[in-house]
Amino acid sequence: MSVEKYLKPEVINQIKRLDLRAQFVVKGFLHGLHASPFHGFSVEFSEHRKYTQGDDLKDIDWQVYAKTDKYYVKKFESETNITGYLVMDLSHSMGYTYRQTLTKFDYGICLAASLAYLMVNQQDPVGLITFNDKIRHSLPPRSKRTQLGNLISLLSNLKPAGVTDFRNSIFQLAAMLKNRSLVMIFSDFLIDEKETMDAVFRLRHSGHDVIMFHILDEAEVSFPFNGVCKMKDPETGDELRVDADGFRSDYVDQIEAFRASLNRQCQKNGIDYVPIDTSMQFDKALLEYLISRRARG
Amino acid sequence: MTLAHLSVLGLGGVLLAVPVLLHFLMQPKPVVMTFPALRFLQKRSATNQSRMRLRHLLLLLLRCLLIGLVALAFAGLSVASADFGKWLTLGGIGFATVVVGLIAAAAWFRENRNLMLVSVLGLISILLMFFLVHTVMQVFGKDSGGRLIGRSNEPVAAIVLVDNSPTMEYRFENETRFEKAKGIAAWLINQLPIESQVCVAATDHDTPFFSVDTAAAAKRLGKLDIVYQSATIPDTLDRALPLIEKSELQRREVYIFTDLTEKSWTTETSGAALKRLVENDDTSIFLIDVGVKEPNNLSLQPLELNAASIPPRGEIVVSCDVDRLGAETVPSITFQIQANDPSRPVVRDGKTLYPQQMLTQTTLTPTMAPTGPRTATAPLRFSFADDLPEGTYHGSVALNNADGLPGDDRRYFSFEVKSAVPVLIVHGPDALPDALAACISPYESQDDGKSQFDVTTINQFDLQSPEQLDGFDIVYLLDPAPLSLSMWDGLHASVENGNALGIFLGHNALRKGAAEKSFLHPQATEILGGRLTFPFRAPAGDVAFSPDRLTHPIFKMFRKFESSVPWNTNPVYYHWGIERDSTWEKYPTEIPLRFTDREPALLERTIGSGVVMVMLTPISEPSYSTEREVWNDLFVGDNWPIYQLTVDIGKYLLQGDRDSINVPVGQVIALRNDVTHFPETYRAFSPVSEKTPTNISTVNGRISYKFADTPGNYYLQGNYDGIPLQRGFSANLSLRETDLTRVGQDDVDLVLGSGRYQIATDQNAIELQQGTARKGQEFFPLLMLLALVVMGVEHLLSNRFYKG
């Protein structure tokens, strides 16, 4: 149980080194998956697959069952290799938090690093793309151990800045990718919905698998403000004077509708959509990745 | 609708600017914060801005409303009491309309979450608006039931009417009703605005007037005292009302202090001014009830004397009843007769000293009848006889029990002791004088000197000249035969001089079926009271005496029996008819008694100082006659009514009974005074010892006293040929004046109009009702309550709008 605490953002915030963060997150996540019976963490363990008739009942992961209501068994050897791209939104809005310990960006890179750690451990090649109004950094995918260090080193030095041009950036990325890959986008998607989906569909049409990690700050989901506030958009600089109390329910409705709309369109086009906010534990995102990974196995 | 303090409303108006200024100038600075998801806010910003403005506006409205309500409350907003309900309805509907309208607007504004709800609320709002408009039209479109006149501190034209009848002397809780009324009235006058016009009126028949100022009014009030011959409240009010009607002051008020006894409120007709008061609502009426709802009282009923004058050795008999009201009390009654002391009363040191010496003094404790709400005992009877010197004697009957009302605890009487009056009975042919003689002067009375009459009986043939009538106070003509003209003239002169004549006509006046010529002579008709026609015949015996009313003094003894007197047992077969002639205009004439065929049976005519009584059937008939038909059976069988009637006619003809010396308070006394036997001038002493005696002189053979305004014994002191001589009389309160029966609200409504007056019982109630009438119904508590509600709503909304 002790390592599971590292799934909590407020705990992981106390660890300054990103590589350690990723390591602790993944360990905490995997420990949770093997809580009972404990089989230990091994390189052999690769991923989960759906339970089929004839599988040993001992291999059923009951933690996963408890979380997903589906039977999964653990696979202990690598069966596939998939190229993964961690696509990180670098825009200024990602550096926002209202009252959480991690900004959206911090949360995103922590999650990205954890996934990178997981993928490298599975010997999957993983690369990193960062963008705001255009692609800013590009680290080609590798499955070597050194890749993790490079990747984490790059992530650690990133600072959110500038405005987002999601469509242009993703179109640029799509042009860059030659092979079928798993593209994991970490963004708050606070841009035009159609523009977002057009870009994602472009990737999807190119044959890539896409996971959209929709990272919002907890305040962006619950709108906890009171009284009259003057809100300022960090990217556009637009300001708006609002009566927060009167706005709350409308805002929450809108943000939910936005997320629901993205989810609906993603499902329709075979895209995994993971809505998360900075107050949530990391395991939800990781699990989603593993499930997606298995689907490609 | 009025405002007591307009300045407060002005101040409220100024204060209203405060929240408005704060709203525009002191808006809080918003917290500036970064928010990346601004695009979602921008989508709804227009709606949100509108809502925010609406909320601010609503709060501003509530705050202004709060200040406005408090200002209105302290400004003393009030309306006429009669309109209060309408204004309340108006306010209620208005408030409900606003609330429902706001809810409907809010529901609509929130983008119609529930269309049905918005529709229903909208519909209700419209209906309420309709009712609001309807009520507004009702309130302003019609004459209101009451209105407020002027400002509350304006001078008042006021009538302060204090009932000062004897029942107001009723003592309860250690003060009389009159004292209580005067106390409250004094307080009331003192708190009237200083330039008010005040008329202090009382039920004492005085002419009402406005006092110079309120101090003078208070002084007049202080001088008021109980009067023993009171006017009614409606009559007094009717006389006083023109004063305030003519007053230039706008505010008019009438205060009536009364014990609400029946006698003060019973009136047959309402005066014009009183009718105007009831019909117009520009005068406030306050009825201050100082009465006691369940009084305890013993009251002596009026006395009855067997005679107003008795012979020296005669017996005076006084009877009376005692009435009991309320609690059971055993009465103790003292009967006393003063000695005739010519040296008293006498004035010493400004005070009158009355005779102290008593001839007799007796105390009785009568057995009371079973208890009940108003139970009378069996009549009490006191008698006294002695060999008294001639003169006037006074006495009283008094209740020794102290009770609430003193006015009916003592009754007074006077009687005269005179030597037997000389009476001449002249009987015609075949007329029997024995019955009359036995009635007016029984043989046994003659023997022991108790008879009032010294009777001389002669045959008509022996009456040769009018001079024979001299020396007789009373002359009876029993079934007289024709008289000479000189005799008629002599009789006329005798009566004119103050003597009495009793004529009982019978068959001797008959000649050939009609009246004998002598009886038709003008001198005769002047005495007889009209022109004799012919005898009425009723052989079947179905005609008898049948008095219409028992008001005449000769029926005094019959009143207690009323309709049970057996008049029919003594039939009248014949009686004379008489027709009214021109002499009726010359002399006061009345018909105290009729036959059952409605023809007159007895006439009374006043000629000069004397009186003539003519009975149209004789009382001198034999019970049986072979020579002629008897005219009646008046003295046959059980003849007590005839006997009593004859006795009472005899007493009435006696001068003393006609010049009554026992009178009700307020009556003018006029006693015959023959200066050949009595003093020409007298000093009259009232029973009020502080009153200075007055001198009265003989005018036209009479002495008159006009000031018998207090119950008690009155003494007339004179001197005849150097010998002190005393006469006098007694005055008593009438039963009406001491009747404590309370009047019902319906009867008061008849006088003052239903709903036109307000009843109070003490100062606080007056203050409250006066305030209601002057200021109307105040909205202060309601407005403050509303302000509290608005404050609460404002607090809730501001908390909700600005959480944290």
Instruction: Report pLDDT for B48.
Output: 73
User: For an interface test with B, which of A104, A230, A250 has the most B Cβ atoms less than 10 Å from its Cβ?
Assistant: A250
For B105-121, what is the mean pLDDT? 65
Cβ–Cβ gap A251/B30 under 8 Å? no
Q: How confident is the model at residue A44 (pLDDT cuts 50, 70, 90)?
A: very low
Residues A13 and A55 in one domain: yes
Residues A70 and A160 in one domain: no
Instruction: Report pLDDT for A42.
Output: 35
Residues A57 and A100 in one domain: no
Residues A233 and A277 in one domain: yes
Three-state DSSP at A149 gives helix
- pLDDT higher than 70, residue A23: no
- pLDDT higher than 60, residue B149: no
- From chain A, the residues in CB contact with B30 under 8 A are 227-230, 241
- From chain A, the residues in CB contact with B40 under 8 A are 251, 254-255, 258
Cβ–Cβ gap B52/A243 under 8 Å? yes
Say how many domains are in chain A: 2
Q: How confident is the model at residue B477 (pLDDT cuts 50, 70, 90)?
A: very high
pLDDT in tens, B514-552: 888 899 988 899 999 899 988 998 888 889 988 888 888
* Range(s) of the domain holding residue A185: 84-296
For B111-139, what is the mean pLDDT? 68
Residues A265 and A130 in one domain: yes
Q: How confident is the model at residue B654 (pLDDT cuts 50, 70, 90)?
A: confident
**Residues B479/B590, Cβ–Cβ less than 8 Å:** no
For B241-261, what is the mean pLDDT? 87
Interchain contact A53–B (C-beta under 8 A): no
Instruction: Report pLDDT for B148.
Output: 40
**Residues B527/B503, Cβ–Cβ less than 8 Å:** yes
For B407-412, what is the mean pLDDT? 89
Task: Determine phi and psi for B399, rounding to 5 degrees.
Answer: -85, 130
- From chain B, the residues in CB contact with A245 under 8 A are 800-803
pLDDT in tens, B615-637: 999 988 888 888 888 898 888 87
CA distance A81 to B613: 159
**B372 or B351: which leads in pLDDT:** B351
Residues A129 and A70 in one domain: no
- From chain B, the residues in CB contact with A239 under 8 A are 32
Q: Which of A57, A75, A93 is the last residue of a domain?
A: A75
User: For an interface test with B, which of A216, A242, A277, A278 has the most B Cβ atoms less than 10 Å from its Cβ?
Assistant: A242
- pLDDT higher than 60, residue A207: yes
Q: Give residues 220 to 249 of A whose Cβ lies within 8 Å of B.
A: 220, 225-236, 238-243, 245-247
Instruction: Report pLDDT for A13.
Output: 64
Instruction: Report pLDDT for A11.
Output: 62
For B696-700, what is the mean pLDDT? 87
Residues A192 and A257 in one domain: yes
Percent of chain B with pLDDT over 70: 87
Residues contacting residue B116 through CB under 8 Å, at least 6 positions apart: none
**A48 or A256: which leads in pLDDT:** A256
**A105-109: long-range pairs with CB below 8 Å, 24+:** A105/A158, A105/A160, A106/A13, A107/A9, A107/A215, A107/A276, A107/A278, A108/A186, A108/A187, A108/A213, A108/A215, A109/A18, A109/A155, A109/A156, A109/A158, A109/A186
**B271 or A5: which leads in pLDDT:** B271
Instruction: Report pLDDT for A39.
Output: 34
Cβ–Cβ gap B33/A232 under 8 Å? yes
Instruction: Name all domains of chain B by residue range, CATH numbers in brackets.
Output: 2-26+41-148+781-801 (no CATH), 156-295+740-775 (3.40.50.410), 297-417+660-738 (2.60.40.150), 421-658 (3.40.50.880)
Q: Quick one: closest CA in A to B29, which residue?
A: A228
Pick from B20-29, B36-45, B644-653: least confident: B20-29
pLDDT in tens, B565-623: 888 888 999 999 999 888 888 888 999 999 999 999 999 998 887 899 999 999 888 88
B513 burial (CB, 10 Å; 0-12 / 13-18 / 19+) is exposed
Interchain contact A216–B (C-beta under 8 A): yes
- Mean pLDDT of the residues in chain A: 79
CA distance B149 to B140: 17
Instruction: Report pLDDT for B476.
Output: 93
For B363-369, what is the mean pLDDT? 77
Residues contacting residue B312 through CB under 8 Å, at least 6 positions apart: B387, B388, B389, B390, B417, B418, B419, B449
Distance from CA of A261 to the nearest CA of B (A): 14
**Residues B548/B560, Cβ–Cβ less than 8 Å:** no
Cβ–Cβ gap B32/A232 under 8 Å? yes
pLDDT in tens, A46-93: 567 778 777 777 778 888 888 878 888 776 544 456 788 999 998 888
| Angle of CA points B227, B206, B199, to nearest 5° | 110
Residues contacting residue A138 through CB under 8 Å, at least 6 positions apart: A127, A128, A129, A130, A176
**Residues B723/B717, Cβ–Cβ less than 8 Å:** no
Cβ–Cβ gap A216/B37 under 8 Å? yes
- From chain B, the residues in CB contact with A226 under 8 A are 802-804
For B704-724, what is the mean pLDDT? 87
Interchain contact B350–A (C-beta under 8 A): no
For B483-488, what is the mean pLDDT? 90
Q: Which amino acid is located at B453 in the chain?
A: F
- Mean pLDDT of the residues in chain B: 82
- pLDDT higher than 50, residue B283: yes
Percent of chain B with pLDDT over 90: 12
Write down the ipTM of this complex: 0.77
Cβ–Cβ gap B33/A216 under 8 Å? no
- From chain B, the residues in CB contact with A254 under 8 A are 40, 43-44
pLDDT in tens, B290-304: 888 888 888 888 888
Of B34, B39, B51, the CB nearest to A232: B34
For B439-444, what is the mean pLDDT? 74
- pLDDT higher than 60, residue B372: no
Q: How confident is the model at residue B378 (pLDDT cuts 50, 70, 90)?
A: low
Cβ–Cβ gap A251/B41 under 8 Å? yes
CA distance B511 to A225: 136
Distance between terminal CA atoms of chain A? 30
CA distance A173 to B156: 100
pLDDT in tens, A107-122: 888 888 888 887 887 7
Cβ–Cβ gap B33/A229 under 8 Å? yes
List, in sequence order, the alpha helices (H) in B191-232. Answer: 214-223
- From chain A, the residues in CB contact with B44 under 8 A are 247, 250-251, 254
Distance from CA of A75 to the nearest CA of B (A): 41
Cβ–Cβ gap A190/B33 under 8 Å? no
**B204 or A45: which leads in pLDDT:** B204
Tell the residue number behind the tokens 């409605």, with chain if given.
Answer: B598
Would you give the distance in Å from CA B43 to the centre of its chain? Answer: 89
Task: Determine phi and psi for B729, rounding to 5 degrees.
Answer: -160, 175
Interchain contact A256–B (C-beta under 8 A): no
A-B interface: how many C-beta pairs under 8 angstroms?
101
Residues A121 and A221 in one domain: yes
Most confident of B58-72, B174-188, B264-278: B174-188
Interchain contact B55–A (C-beta under 8 A): yes
- pLDDT higher than 80, residue B335: yes
Cβ–Cβ gap B36/A226 under 8 Å? no
Q: Which of A75, A106, A130 is the last residue of a domain?
A: A75
Cβ–Cβ gap A230/B44 under 8 Å? no
For B509-517, what is the mean pLDDT? 86
Instruction: Report pLDDT for B116.
Output: 63
Q: Which of A75, A99, A131 is the last residue of a domain?
A: A75
Distance from CA of A227 to the nearest CA of B (A): 5
For position A126, which CATH number holds?
3.40.50.410
Residues A71 and A192 in one domain: no
Distance between terminal CA atoms of chain B? 44
List, in sequence order, the alpha helices (H) in B618-689. Answer: 640-653, 655-658
Of B36, B38, B51, the CB nearest to A246: B51
Residues A45 and A157 in one domain: no
Residues A29 and A113 in one domain: no
Of A230, A236, A254, the CB nearest to B31: A230
pLDDT in tens, B25-60: 766 678 888 888 888 888 777 777 777 777 778 888
For B188-200, what is the mean pLDDT? 85
Residues A91 and A234 in one domain: yes
